[in-house]
């Protein structure tokens, strides 16, 4: 199962997220749940860097781990852009979870 943990600050902003595990929906190369979750999360990280100019702290491994931490003290415009992209990621992952909930689970802290 893919486990996603979204961490928010007290004011509701996303400060980090972690995605780990494998969906095991289908064979390697055929797993649409894993492909969808990966595309959404990596696309968000790439968009934060290119569109918002935010360089998050990233940690990843071949075992299915992606950790992303948003740096503190960003200029307001960059922070707002990053938050919009991150909220879009959450909506997309929740859409996947609604259809394939036995293969992906999202929690919030």
Catalytic residue among 5, 34, 68, 105: 34
Catalytic residue among 5, 22, 68, 105: 22
Whether residue 68 lies in the annotated active site: no
92-98, Cβ contacts within 8 angstroms, sequence gap of 24 or more: 92/40, 93/4, 93/37, 93/40, 93/41, 96/33, 96/36, 96/37, 96/40
Q: Is the dihedral of CA 89, 75, 71, 15 positive or negative?
A: negative
Query: In whole angstroms, what separates CA 80 from the centre of its chain?
Result: 17
Whether residue 34 lies in the annotated active site: yes
**Positions marked active-site:** 22, 34
């Amino acid at each position: 199962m893919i486990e996603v943990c979204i961490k928010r600050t007290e004011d509701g902003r996303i400060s980090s997220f972690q995605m780990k595990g494998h969906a095991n929906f289908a064979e390697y190369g055929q797993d649409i749940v894993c492909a969808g979750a990966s595309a959404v999360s990596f696309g968000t990280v790439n968009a934060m860097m290119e569109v918002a100019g935010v360089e998050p702290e990233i940690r990843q491994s071949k075992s299915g781990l992606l950790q992303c931490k948003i740096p503190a003290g960003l200029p307001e415009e960059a922070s707002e852009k990053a938050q919009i992209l991150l909220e879009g990621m959450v909506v997309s992952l929740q859409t996947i979870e609604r259809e394939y909930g036995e293969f992906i689970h999202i929690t919030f802290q």
